Amino acid sequence: MTLEELCTTLDVQLASRTSEEERMSAAVQALCQIYKVKPGEVAFFRYSPEGQSLSFRWPLRLAKTGTIPLSSADALISRTVQEKKGFINNHFASARHVAIFEQIRTDPDASEAPKPIQKIMSVPLWKEEAIIGVLQVCRKGADQQLAGSDFGKGELLALTELAKVCGRHL
């Protein structure tokens, strides 16, 4: 399936959902299939220009965990909003970042501790001409090799286009 077909399919799926939670769940499900990741490896953030902060929208278990200030120098989501572009980091575990959220279980049925993020893509979510949030897809694992393959530029470009579709519906 081409990127254009993926975007069209996602657009139709999201438009057919009546609630924001259903649209979010459908978007996460689609991204999991496309990037071969688990639901806990997809994150949506809402950007608050008034509060100059970002907060989780997905995973739902993190939605009430607080906010991340736009001024946070170590937060990739802050950089994504400030620079208005996407990023890939295939060595994320060794980079300085806000790691507190990685320690929270997003799957209540999981018996083991959450694994650290090893690789990540981060792109802005746009609605018309305004950034409304950030979409991130990551690969978690005990180490880089166990997390899976590196993300490439083509995947980042595809995520940027998919985020445009998501931004119209979320």
Q: State pLDDT tens for residues 105-152.
A: 555 565 676 788 999 999 999 999 999 999 999 999 989 899 999 999
pLDDT, greater one: 103 or 34: 34
Q: What is the pLDDT of residue 110?
A: 59
H or E element: which one contains 124? strand 117-127
Closest residue by Cα to residue 75 from 52, 104, 57: 52
What pLDDT score was predicted for residue 5? 97
Question: Which residues make Cβ contacts (< 8 Å) with residue 35, sequence separation at least 6?
Answer: 41, 137, 155, 159
> Which pLDDT belongs to residue 103?
52
User: Which pLDDT belongs to residue 64?
Assistant: 78
Residues 11-32 as b or e (16 or more Cβ within 10 Å = b): bebbeeeeeeeebbebbbebbb
Mean pLDDT rounded to a whole number for the chain: 89
Alpha-carbon span 153 to 44, nearest angstrom: 20
CATH, residue 40: 3.30.450.40
Closest CA to 136 of 79, 66, 65, 64: 79
Q: Within the chain, where are the H helices?
A: 3-15, 20-35, 76-83, 144-147, 153-169
Range of the domain at 39: 3-169
| pTM passes above 0.75 | yes
In sequence order, the β-bridge partners of residue 68 are 54
Number of domains in the chain: 1
